[in-house]
Each structure stands twice: as C-alpha cells, then as structure tokens.
Amino acid sequence: MSQLPTVVDVGRVAGVSRQTVSNVLNSPGLVKPATRERVEAAIAQLGYRPHASARRLRTQKSSTLGIRLDPMQNGISGAVLDRFLHALTEKADQRGLRVMLFTALDPEDEIRQFKRLRDGADVDAFVLTATFHGDPRTEWLIENNVPFVTFGRPWGIDDMNDPRHLWVDVDGWSGLHEATGHLLGEGRLRIAYLGWPRPSGTGDDRRRGWRDAMESDGRLSAAELDALDLSTVDGVAQGREALQALLDSGTPVDAVVCASDSLALGALLAVGADIPVIGYDNTPVAEAVGLSSVEQPLDEVAAGALELLLGPTGGEIVGWSSSSTDPRHRLVTPHLVMRERSAITGVR
C-alpha cells in the first residue's frame, strides 16, 4: 500500500497503455470516448493524481507563478498588496496554477531571485507589483524572455506600449473623477485634493482625476483649484497637518478627496464629522472607522493579469510572443464605496 498510483497503474486497471492515460488528461480529443470513460473511471477508482514534478521535468513548465512578497508595504496600504495576493492565488487556482512566494532585499536581489527560480524551473512566470520608471527588473525579464505581468503600468512613456510588457492597472483617474463627481452631485463645491508630492505616477494620475472633474464643473478658477491641491508624504499625521494648514489659512473647504486612506484618516481627524472625506484603497481601516473610499477591484486585476499571461481560457504560459493581436494591458475601473462614518462621527 501507500505507493501513489502512476499512469502505469491507471493504464493497467483500464486496460490501456500509459500514453493513453496521459492523453485522456492532456488531449482528450485524441481518445475514443469509450476508452476515455474507462480511463476516467480508473483514475477515480485509484484516486490518481498526476505527479507535478514529473510532469514539470518532462514539459519544462512549472505551472507556477512567482510573486515577491514585500518586506512591508507603506503602512495602511500594505493591505492592498495582500488582497491582491489573495485574489491572484484564487484565480490562479482556478486555472490550475500555483503561486509561489519569494522575498528580495532590493531590485537587484530580486533579479537574482528571478534567475534562481527560473533556472530551477520553479516558476515559469512572474507577477510584479510596484514598478517604477526605468525598472531594471522588467528590463531583465524582457531581455531574458521570461514571461511576466505587472500590477501597475510602467510610467515611462516609452514602456507604456511596449508589447513585451504586459500590465494591468487600476484607473486612479477614474476613481478620483467619480469620487469628486459624487461630492459635486451632493452640492459640495470647494472640494480639496489631498495627495502625494509630484512626480508620482499613481499620485498624479489620481490628482488629474480630481482636477478634471473640478474643471468640467467649472465653477472654481484655476487659482482656486491650485489652493485646494495639497501634497504631502503618505501618513495619517501628515494628512492631518496638511489639511489643518489649509483650514488655518482660511480657505473654505466643503469636502476632501484623497490619494490614500492614510491621508484620508488624517484629513478626517482635521475636518471633523461635517465635511465628507473620501479615501482610496478601501482598506480595513476605512471599513473599521466608516470612512468612504475608492475600492480597487483586485479580483478583476488578478483575473486580468492571468488573462494577459495565459489568454482568456488557457492554463499554459506561452510568453509575450503568443499572438500579436492579443491585448497587452488592461485598465480596470475602481468604484466608490460610500459609508456613513459612524465610528468617527461625533469625536470632536
């Protein structure tokens, strides 16, 4: 007992050869229906499972994605990566792929890990998060012909449409545009934007969403908008200070939209309950304190990443050269989650 069954065992029970069993699993179309049923019955009877390592050795494919787990994302928003990771694992599972983790100290070290995992045939594609301009990682992957997809668009103009660079991203512009529009629709006029210092790919994109919504509303002048456009590094205390400074300057504020939940929480502490604040990322904290926020549909992001990598249905990683008509990237639209702010309301 106890020895796991192999294709040979299944073949013996079903009265066919190894290869036929293999065909039932991998190319069912080749096998006569009657035979296929017999084999399938034998598989069920023996509880046969293909031996992943043996298959990988032969096919030189691991059916595994590698993803770097960051040492600790910046404060509150780290949760976003984790939710993405979960969504990715789930979607990958559905396609028969596994997700393997690794850590790295810096981009160079990460490249070293790429090499290690690729050479050991541990993974056959990578999912990257948080790419930046002139990222050495994507360059290396492209040069070495390793399939990958990034969560986050490449912010350099050249890279953006490089067909070898697959990417998925959330449309921050749209998120802030919607949030701002919602507040305008509620009759708020002087809506401030609390974001990060320029230049910041994601940050500037979100800022643009706010600004465009405000400009198409048209009631505030460019100068007035400039006054409502705040920048500070991410953090609750920083957000609070930035907004406090604005209020102290005497500028009236009807509402605030933010580039992150950390900033939003800070803003909330500064403005109190009567002025609506909308954050970004819809982190657990936002939910906990009842803060409205822009939710990134990470399920869609994960599904999109896999679709770019594998095509709409497949479970085979073929690399960027598959079909030149396939889409190369996908922009996912976030949506607004409005809340009553019950937990913090009434604090002051």
Residues forming contacts to a second copy in the complex (CB under 8 A) are 4, 47, 49-54, 56-57, 62, 64, 69-72, 75-76, 78-79, 82-83, 85-86, 89-90, 93, 98-103, 115-116, 119-122, 235-237, 240, 262, 265-266, 269, 284-285, 287-290, 342-344, 347-348
**Partner from a second copy, DNA, none binding residue 99, C-beta < 5-8 Å depending on class:** a second copy
Contact assessment for residue 270 and residue 255, using Cβ atoms and an 8 Å cutoff: no
Strand-pair partners of 229: 193
**Partner from DNA, a second copy, none binding residue 160, C-beta < 5-8 Å depending on class:** none
Q: Does 18 interact with DNA (rule: CB under 7 A)?
A: yes
Among 1, 2, 47, 60, binds DNA (CB under 7 A): 60
Q: How far apart are CA 128 and CA 154, in angstroms?
A: 11
CB of residue 208 to a second copy, shortest distance in Å = 26
User: CB burial class (10 A; 0-12, 13-18, 19+) of residue 102?
Assistant: middle
Q: How far apart are CA 281 and CA 284, in angstroms?
A: 9
CB of residue 310 to a second copy, shortest distance in Å = 18
Residue 180 corresponds to which tokens in the numbers above? 């701002």
List CB contacts of 44: < 8 A, sequence separation 6 or more: none
**Partner from a second copy, DNA, none binding residue 16, C-beta < 5-8 Å depending on class:** DNA
Q: Please say which residue, 8 or 101, places its beta carbon nearer to DNA.
A: 8
Among 23, 62, 232, 283, binds DNA (CB under 7 A): 23
**Partner from DNA, a second copy, none binding residue 342, C-beta < 5-8 Å depending on class:** a second copy
Contact assessment for residue 285 and residue 259, using Cβ atoms and an 8 Å cutoff: no
106: phi then psi, degrees, rounded to nearest 5: -160, 175
Among 1, 2, 32, 223, binds DNA (CB under 7 A): 32
Q: Does 57 interact with DNA (rule: CB under 7 A)?
A: yes
**138 CB neighbour count, 10 Å cutoff:** 23
Q: Please say which residue, 21 or 309, places its beta carbon nearer to DNA.
A: 21
> Which residue from 126, 130, 149, 155 is spatially nearest to 77, judged by alpha carbons?
130
Count interface residues toward DNA (CB under 7 A). 32
Contact assessment for residue 267 and residue 254, using Cβ atoms and an 8 Å cutoff: no
Enumerate the H helices of the chain as residue ranges.
7-14, 18-26, 33-46, 52-59, 78-94, 107-119, 136-143, 157-160, 172-185, 201-217, 222-228, 236-248, 261-271, 284-289, 298-310
Among 41, 44, 54, 338, binds DNA (CB under 7 A): 54
Q: Does 22 interact with DNA (rule: CB under 7 A)?
A: yes
CB of residue 98 to DNA, shortest distance in Å = 16
Q: Does 112 interact with DNA (rule: CB under 7 A)?
A: no
Q: How far apart are CA 77 and CA 285, in angstroms?
A: 9
Q: Does 200 interact with DNA (rule: CB under 7 A)?
A: no
Segment contacting DNA by CB under 7 A, of 12-20, 124-132, 217-225, 232-240: 12-20
Contact assessment for residue 196 and residue 231, using Cβ atoms and an 8 Å cutoff: yes
Residues of this chain that interact with DNA (CB under 7 A) are: 3-4, 6-8, 11, 15-23, 25-26, 30-32, 34-35, 48-51, 54-55, 57-60
